[in-house]
Chain A
Amino acid sequence: MHTETYPQLVTLVILIPAIGAFINLFWGARLNELAVSAIATVASSLAFLVAVLLYAYLVNNNYQGVVVNPPLLDGWIRIGTSVEIPWQMRVDTLSVTMMLVVSGIGSLIHMYAAGYMHGDPMFHRFFAYLNMFLAFMLILVTGNNFLMMFVGWEGVGLCSFLLIGFWFDRANGVGWRNSNAARKAMVVNRIGDFGMMMAVFMIFWTFGTLDYYRPGEIANPGFGTHGAEAAHVEGEAVAAEGEHEEAAATTEATHEETTAVVEGEEAHGEAVAAFTNNDHIPTEQLGVFGKTMRWIEEGGHEVDFGPFSLPFETVLIIITLFLLLGATGKSAQIPLFVWLPDAMAGPTPVSALIHAATMVTAGVYMMVRSNVWYHEAALTSLVVAIIGATTALVAGFIAVGQWDIKRVLAYSTVSQLGFMVAAVGVGAYSAAVFHLLTHAFFKALLFLGSGSVIHGVEHGHHLAHEGHGHGDDHGHHEEAFDPQDMRNMGGLRRNMPVTYITYLVGTLALSGIFPLAGFWSKDEILADSFIVGFGEGQLRGYIAFGLLLIAAAFTAFYMWRQIELVFHGDARSDAARHAPESVATMTVPLVILMIGSIVAGFINTPANVLGLDNLFGAHRFTDWLSATVVNAHAGDFQWLLALIALGLALGAIFLARTIYGKASPLVGAEQRDPLAIGAIGRAWSLANARLYWDETYYRLFEGPFNAISRFLADTLDWRFWHDYFHNNVIRDGFNAIGNLLSKPVDLGIIDGVVNGIGRLTRWLSGAVRGVQTGYVRTYAITLLLGVVIVIVVLLLPLLQTNG
């Protein structure tokens, strides 16, 4: 209603990292490392700062989102009046949450990368890509229509491709290169993009627009009194948390809240805009979600697609299923998750930022954004729940059998994304975003920790083999030694205390140990699926709850296995023995992320739990989100459930400690996993072989695809169509007709013409071996015939008028 300049700031969120990328891409080569990393990190931090300002704006505006038309940009795809897709942005509680996570975690990872990438010849290019990634990711989350989301979606995919293949000249195992991994990621994601594109077409022809919301539209008409209550409790909560203010994204954001909320309270009275619902807006002027709610309210809506028409409910199921296909690509779910573990070929900060904390959550963001549809499409919800929960379990199982420190984390990420997707499936949208947020902290922490470990082990390897001539081209003589293999580690807690402590906290947070961040978010997902299953008797709830509970136990187990193998026990290689602790630019982000992993869960503590709500407020995050997410609801805390989950996690940790602890048989680098024995051994081998998933895909799809490709190209297209058909049918046919016609017509002229053209061609084409005169002859005849036909037929109308 009122045009405000304040939310225009959102343009800067994208622009600043884009400028950073631009500078480093074009001038970075001439700058030194410090300048390059400073430009990139400052750009990222400024984006975070702007996100915080936008957060404050929303608090002031009673959490109500706005649509922003960025200055200077006048539309994007506009075809007359039939298609209008603008560059337009959306500032609301969901997009700001994502902005805070992306730019906040992003800034820490930029800082870390300055240390990690030290000495790389392509240092500037790395930071340009990182900033470029941020810009695209922020386009993805701030866009106000599905096509802008798709721009970001593809943009981050491109950055992912570039960064996975950052060391594109390196091999990665036998017959597998980093560039293969990069290509695999992009191609697999394209399959998901196919779903996105189809969804977008269908959305357009159903709603006539791709906009989420139109200016002035209220996202969640039901949101109102709720928010005010929440804001009230916040003020107190924040005071208690003040000391962590510098810690991390959320806490910093909370700090802003203290001041903002006070004003918010005062402004509350008049800031509640003239309208609290969209009833005054005609249907055709609503965005896609507003239209959906209107049509569902009215009932019986049919969508006309030209040749056929469908009931609106069916349309929603199809749209959401296509979107889901997109999500399984980007968020690495079954059946498209296979690219993510290979994506670990990229430098570790990339794994942390793109392939754990932010980009891979895009699918979850997209589904939560479309919660109005998923809420209505019961069939899709069931599919989503099954896919998410199965992925969580399968990936958790595979993680147990991996030796590569990053690969464990990769499968863990797939598994945790499965938790979020399953949460969407059971309608726990706020729990999904909550877990997205807490996961961003501890998974980024774990990846950066693993990077610190790898870095340390690599250096240890160099130190242990001093004199072998270390130096510029590192990565060459390391083929025999794998610094990421956990069998080469052990006992690192002594040399790397900061990494150890932070990693330990990350592990506990991920395992869901009270009161760390993961406990709260994972518990909310479990509780919600429990209620949907056992409370409401829905199949999706039973499936999600059952599978996720087991997956949670696996999580704790593989993480503790990692702790034991990497940090505890004795060093199993010289490299591990000599590994030094990482530099401060790397350890400081670890500490900050550790604090985040401890406290991030408190933003959404449930009501009535140990009086914590007096301290932190009750489901404040859910309230915040529900201003945008229509179907966000706060779950009840289930005491019994929480205790069961906690007990399972602790049990799994204990089990892992028993198996891999001090009494571990794994004393040398060559030893087998203690689980690889007997009946369990067979299961472990399956996990170790990653369930032969990639091999199966190869056999089912890639192999046949290649075979068909060769068949089409060599046999069908070339030998049959190009050679045989052309030579025997077209050319010979031509010659036959030519000879037939040339006999009666031939008065010696044609031969003359043919020879003339033959000579001309020979002269012009220089030393051509064997000009095919038969060919040229035919062609000359054709030309001649053409001319004759033209003349004859041109004379036809004359004949007609005469007759």
Chain B
Amino acid sequence: MEATGLSLLTVILFLPLVGMTIILFIPGDQGRNIRYTALGFSVVTFALSLVMWASFDPNVAGLQMVQRWDWMPTFGISYYVGVDGISLLLIVLTAFIMPIAILVSMASHIFQERGREKWYYLFLMVLEWAMLGAFMIQDLIVFYIFFEITLVPMYFLIGIWGAENRVYAAVKFFLYTLAGSVLMLLAILYVGNQAGTFAIPEIVSMVHSGALTFPFDGLFSTQSYLFLGFFIAFAIKVPLWPFHSWLPDAHVQAPTAGSVILAGVLLKLGTYGMIRVLLPIFPEATVAWAPIVAVLAIIGIIYGAWVCYAQDDAKKLVAYSSVSHMGFIVLGIFALNGQGIQGSILQMVNHGVSTGGLFLIVGMLYERRHTKKLADYGGIWKALPVFGAISLVITLSSMGLPGLNGFIGEFTILLGTFGSEVLGFFFALFATLGIILAAVYMLYMFQKVFMGELDKEENKHLPDMNWMEYAALIPVLVGVFLIGLYPALFFAPMNTTVMELAAQVGHFVTTVAQAVP
């Protein structure tokens, strides 16, 4: 399994770092060179991620393209990368979102105000490296390091190029996520200590062969505490209700690219972690806690959507919609069956594409009018017909219109929830109410901005879309339609891995039912 030489994954992982190094040596006044270097490296990374997809074998459940080097052998820590059905699409998503984030930055005016363009793209490159690392790494300690490193460039992106309250938001973002992961670190150390290694696949096989057990006898026992140590870190990242109060600040203050990456990729680190760590390593605690987590997820779905409807700031509205949408993803994961988990993984991609797209739209509106207040718009469709039509498609995809991407994910998640051994009918019933509310707030926003009379003088002569904006939005549209019309393409690579995982966890449903009356 272990490749000699450089695995494709290693190449993909370190390419952004090479890009960063090159940017470091470009003088700061050569904006054009900096921009295109960043764009070039991100595009090549995306292309290579597609090559990775093409050479991925969908019939293998375990890791592929593995590369492992000892790093701190005394502690059982290694550089260990690999890809399976769970991480494949998320790696591609990361590589897909990045060029879009760069394109929308190239079209932005923020550097005229804030300058330091070089540092901006430098941070973006570091961010891409860290995110790719978090999805590829199979060693808990190194995973933790990458998980945390993502905070640093994001902190600076928000803190330097953000809106009025940027420092407050940046610090809050940093603090919350960091505080959440302290417990995770402790849990990681405990697990590694018990297992004698930090390599996830080895720990998982020990757990399922019985060589390693974390004592479990109910909602409050050793395994459950470990579960919670990880869970809280991931839940804050997602963010799952009620851990969401950092999100509106971070999104509202972040520059457009920051919001796109935050919603598009960073939030998925939480849900990815749940699938990668919680389900296989703590299966009994997962089963026992699943209904409680699902209740939080459903509260998040409904609460987030309800809060959206009262927003007067477009960006804040989209931010809260993430709370609602991410609730669906968590729900699907804790349905603990193939449909739910596959739906969740696909929905992570969908949310990245659709909500990323919504942030692009809000950002493009902001570039033109320098306001995010819904009340300052109205009838924009008339002034910008193509932009209006694209926005409608993305709005509908976020709302879950069949034929577009969002529907496939939501449908599969809810289907899984309905048929879940641990959740079932009433969970599905309440979660499905979310689709009504999604229509309520998404159409509210669309109507406020794009429909109605074009009565404000400032809105009558908005500049048309430029090529960079087209280049950023068209891939989003391609994603929206491709996933919506041909989801089989996306389910195929994840199926084998997820089915094995679901079978592993499903094995514990009856045993836990006996342990926890």
Contacts and interface: CB of A to CB of B under 8 A. Distances in A.
A726 B432 contact: no
A173 interface: no
A637 interface: no
B429 A198 contact: yes
Contacts of A782: 175, 178-179, 182
Given A151-B402, A191-B436, A797-B75, A710 B339 contact: no
Nearest to A310: B425
Interface in A107-165: 147, 150-151, 153-155, 158, 161, 165
Contact of B167 (A158, A171, A722, A761): A761
A542 to B, nearest CB: 33
Contact of A307 (B245, B382, B424): B424
Given A76-B488, A194-B432, A305-B424, A771 B167 contact: yes
Contacts of A179: 447, 451-452
Interface in B377-398: 379, 381-382, 396
A796 B186 CA distance: 12
Given A183-B447, A712-B310, A789-B186, A168 B452 contact: yes
A307 B309 CA distance: 35
A194 B424 contact: no
B432 A198 contact: yes
Interface stretch (A200-208, A263-271, A421-429, A452-460): A200-208
Contacts of B212: none
B338 interface: yes
A84 B239 CA distance: 32
Interface stretch (B6-14, B324-332, B365-373, B415-423): B415-423
Contacts of B75: 794, 797
Given A194-B435, A779-B171, A789-B185, A79 B310 contact: no
A778 B443 contact: no
Interface string A764-787: 111010011001101100110110
B488 A766 contact: no
A717 B339 contact: no
B85 to A, nearest CB: 11
B306 interface: yes
A659 interface: no
Contact of B408 (A77, A170, A705): A77
B48 interface: no
Interface string A61-83: 00000000000001111111011
A306 interface: yes
A712 B451 CA distance: 26
Contacts of A158: 396, 401
A708 interface: yes
Interface string B272-306: 00000000000000000000000000000001001
A50 to B, nearest CB: 22
Chain A facing B: main interface SS: helix
A191 B434 CA distance: 10
- Size bin of chain A's contact surface: 35 or more
Given A154-B401, A201-B428, A761-B159, A775 B171 contact: yes
Interface string B2-45: 00000000000000000000000000000000000000000000
Given A155-B402, A198-B432, A772 B171 contact: yes
Contacts of B415: 83, 201, 204
B491 interface: yes
Contacts of A779: 171, 174-175, 178
Interface in A181-238: 182-183, 186-187, 190-191, 193-194, 197-198, 201-202, 204-205
Interface of A: 74-80, 82-83, 147, 150-151, 153-155, 158, 161, 165, 168-171, 177, 179-180, 182-183, 186-187, 190-191, 193-194, 197-198, 201-202, 204-205, 305-308, 705-706, 708-710, 712-714, 717, 721-722, 725-726, 730, 734, 761, 764-766, 768, 771-772, 775-776, 778-779, 782-783, 785-786, 789-790, 793-794, 796-798, 800
9 contacts: A79-B339, A151-B402, A153-B402, A307-B425, A764-B119, A764-B156, A764-B160, A785-B182, A796-B189
Interface of B: 74-75, 114-116, 119, 156, 159-160, 166-168, 171-172, 174-176, 178-179, 182, 185-186, 189, 192-193, 242, 245, 248-249, 303, 306-307, 309-311, 338-339, 342, 379, 381-382, 396, 401-403, 407-408, 411-412, 414-415, 418-421, 424-425, 428-429, 432-433, 435-436, 439-440, 443-444, 447, 450-454, 485-488, 491-492, 495-496, 499
